[in-house]
Amino acid sequence: MKRILMLTSLLTCGFLSSGALAQEAPTPPDYPGIVEAFAEARGFMGTVILEHDQKLLFRKSVGKADLEGPLSFVNRSVFPIGSLTKSFTAAAILKLQEDGKLNVTDTLSKFLPDFPGGEKITLQHLLTHTSGIGGLQDIENFDNVQRHALTLDQTIALFSSKPAHFEPGARFEYSNAGYLLLSKVVEVTSGQPFPLYVQSQILQPLGFKSTGFPTRTGIIPRLVKGYLFDGTTHQKAPYVDPELPSGGGGMASTGPELVRWLPLLLSGKVLKPETVQELITPRVPVGEGIHYAYGLQVGSQDGRDVVLHGGIISGHHALTLYFPKEKLSLLILSNVENAPVEELGKTLEKAHFGEPYTLPQKKTFVEVDPAVLQKHLGTYTLPDIGLTLTVVLKDGQLMMQDPAGNLYPLRAENANTFYQGEAGIQIRFTEDGNIELIDGGQTVPGKRVQP
Does the pLDDT at position 55 exceed 80?
A: yes
Better-predicted residue by pLDDT, 174 or 138: 174
Does the pLDDT at position 2 exceed 60?
A: no
- Say whether 263 sits in a helix, a strand or coil: helix
The whole-angstrom separation of Cα 17 and Cα 384 is: 19
Distances (CA, A) of 171 to 90, 131, 278, 410: 19, 8, 20, 32
Model pLDDT for residues 271-309, shown as the tens digit of each residue = 999 999 999 999 999 888 999 999 999 999 888 999 999
The whole-angstrom separation of Cα 61 and Cα 76 is: 12
pLDDT > 70 in the chain, percent: 93
Answer for the pair 176, 83: CB distance below 8 angstroms, yes or no. yes
pLDDT band of 387, cuts 50, 70, 90: confident
Q: What is the pLDDT of residue 408?
A: 87
Identify which of 152, 146, 143, 150 has the alpha carbon closest to the alpha carbon of residue 182: 152
Output DSSP code: residue 212: B
Q: What is the pLDDT of residue 375?
A: 94
Does the pLDDT at position 1 exceed 80?
A: no
Q: Which amino acid is at 26?
A: P
In sequence order, what are the beta bridge partners of 291?
Answer: 285, 298
Q: Which amino acid is at 420?
A: Q
User: Mean per-residue pLDDT for 338-346?
Assistant: 93
User: Mean per-residue pLDDT for 334-350?
Assistant: 94
Does the pLDDT at position 21 exceed 60?
A: no
The whole-angstrom separation of Cα 195 and Cα 94 is: 16
Mean pLDDT of the chain: 90
